[in-house]
């Protein structure tokens, strides 16, 4: 299993890193759109899409391709990100509070549509973040990754109170707080590195500091770390309602694409809303 995980991770990095650091946004947009289309296929399979699962993935890919071709991504208004933020925060709280039982009660067509909208919005935000700059998009990626790693180790070391026992028994409140603390430390270290190296401050943290000051930036980072947990829990709820352990077996040793991007889905739109860029 470990060998599979390492090989898969290396292949993914070999595909993503050149696209991420390319001067144009097109390579990054295309590589990530393929991944998100695969995630759309997984979502439909988990939500009663049946034979329409492939169609949903193709529909998501076509919608993304049209947005890229017409340069819609660059013209996305900030209000679109705020709508996405409100949807994730209010909708996520509503679904998670009602638990696993509520999700299968919704019509399969509605659940598939929700997935299509959430995935497409997250992809648009991801590509928009890349257009702002590599420093910006990478700082958002790292926030999610560091929050997840800190939550894992904090939960193992201090975890006592379950965060959502029926959805994800391994998560604890202490782990979630550790993730937020890790994200804050990352933000401080990133800003210090930008200043020490004389790099133009274009990271998410620099933008948030300029807009809201130190305290406001800290609150924004805590919020983003918190909603990354919401994204993770929401995908876990969907999988449990479908009786699935992984979203698919597309990524050997890692599960499916959704398993890898679930925490990113709410973070990128909300990050753009807060940064107002």
- Residue boundaries of the structural domains of the chain: 2-275
pLDDT at 155 over 90: yes
Instruction: Average the pLDDT over 101-119 and give the result.
Output: 92
Give pLDDT, residue 263: 95
Token pair of 206 as six digits: 């620099």
pLDDT at 2 over 70: no
Identify the residue with better confidence: 72 or 206.
Answer: 206
Give pLDDT, residue 232: 95
Strand segments, DSSP code E, in the chain are: 162-164, 168-172
- Give the pTM: 0.94
Q: How far apart are CA 16 and CA 228, in angstroms?
A: 21
State the chain's mean pLDDT as an integer: 92
In this predicted structure, which of 46-55, 142-151, 210-219, 237-246 has the lowest mean pLDDT?
46-55
Give pLDDT, residue 124: 97
Give pLDDT, residue 3: 67
Give the length of the chain: 277
pLDDT at 264 over 90: yes
Q: What is the maximal distance between C-alpha atoms in the chain? A: 55
Measured in degrees and rounded to the nearest 5, phi and psi for residue 259 equal: -65, -25
Give pLDDT, residue 199: 80
Query: What is the number of other CB atoms lying within 10 angstroms of the CB of residue 252?
Result: 13
Give pLDDT, residue 50: 76
Q: How far apart are CA 93 and CA 111, in angstroms?
A: 16
Instruction: Average the pLDDT over 210-237 and give the result.
Output: 96
């Amino acid at each position: 299993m470990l060998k599979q995980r390492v090989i898969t991770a290396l292949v993914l990095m070999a595909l993503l890193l050149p696209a991420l650091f390319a001067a144009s946004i097109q390579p990054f947009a295309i590589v990530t759109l393929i991944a998100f289309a695969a995630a759309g296929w997984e979502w439909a399979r988990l939500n009663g899409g049946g034979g329409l699962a492939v169609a949903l993935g193709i529909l998501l890919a076509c919608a993304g391709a049209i947005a890229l071709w017409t340069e819609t991504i660059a013209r996305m208004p900030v209000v679109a990100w705020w709508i996405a933020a409100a949807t994730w925060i209010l909708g996520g709280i509503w679904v998670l509070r009602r638990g696993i039982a509520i999700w299968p009660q919704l019509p399969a067509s509605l659940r598939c549509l929700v997935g299509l909208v959430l995935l497409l919005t997250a992809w648009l935000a991801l590509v928009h973040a890349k257009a702002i700059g590599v420093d910006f998009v990478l700082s958002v990626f790292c926030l999610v990754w560091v929050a997840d790693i800190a939550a894992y180790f904090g939960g193992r070391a201090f975890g006592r109170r379950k965060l959502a026992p029926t959805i994800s028994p391994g998560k604890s409140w202490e782990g979630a707080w550790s993730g937020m603390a890790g994200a804050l430390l990352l933000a401080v270290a990133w800003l210090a590195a930008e200043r020490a190296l004389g790099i133009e401050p274009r990271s998410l943290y620099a933008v948030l500091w300029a807009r809201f000051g130190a305290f406001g930036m800290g609150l924004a980072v805590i919020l983003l770390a918190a909603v990354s947990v919401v994204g993770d829990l929401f995908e876990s709820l969907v999988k449990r309602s479908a009786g699935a352990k992984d979203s698919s077996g597309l990524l050997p040793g890692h599960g499916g694409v959704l398993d890898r991007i679930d925490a990113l889905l709410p973070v990128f739109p909300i990050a753009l809303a807060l940064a107002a860029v």
